[in-house]
Amino acid sequence: MMINIEDVVFKLISLSDLENIRSFNCENGSMESYLKDEAYYEHISRKTSTTVVYCENKLIAYFTLHRLPIEFEEAGTASRDALDLARLAVAKEFQQMGIGTFIISHLRYLAYSINERYLTTEALYERWKWYARRGFRYIFDSDIDPNSTEGFVSMVMDLFDGELLEDYFEV
């Protein structure tokens, strides 16, 4: 099945989505359980914000965001909020079709539009290279252990574009 990106719809999770959520299968039990059991409650209690992704009335993916403080040791210790991608899952039948990449592009646009400089995520070790290919970089060398295939890798995407500043000052 091919996906026409123009048919993809992003919407905040609501009660009307619960029926579609029950049949969501991404072959990751933890991601499925979160969506089915916790996502809506955390959304309405304002702990997180979950967006469900549809194509032709079929639930194909979801992602969950929240704000997370991050600290930088450059130029002293500075703290600043980041937009954290807490979860991203694509339904099994829609994996390997560019949906995850499309969602990351959407998140970049969203973060940029609300003046957020950083996107962060805790990627499953088995998926960190996928995130790296989409512009995230790992934060801690210790997260990248070639002898391990488990755990999480803390990652960040810096949306600052120095070339835009250079272009501005050249004009």
Question: In the predicted model, is pLDDT for residue 75 greater than 60?
Answer: no
Cα angle 70, 61, 49; round to 5: 40
Residue-level pLDDT at 41: 98
Residue whose pair of structure tokens reads 């549809």 in the numeric block: 54
Residue-level pLDDT at 11: 98
Residue whose pair of structure tokens reads 């009660």 in the numeric block: 15
Q: What is the pLDDT of residues 109-135, one digit of tens each?
A: 999 999 999 999 999 999 999 999 999
What is the model's pTM?
Answer: 0.90
Range of the domain at 78: 5-170
3-state class percentages of the chain: helix first, strand second, coil last, to nearest 5: 40, 35, 30
CATH code at 159? 3.40.630.30
Residue 66 to residue 68: CA distance in whole angstroms: 6
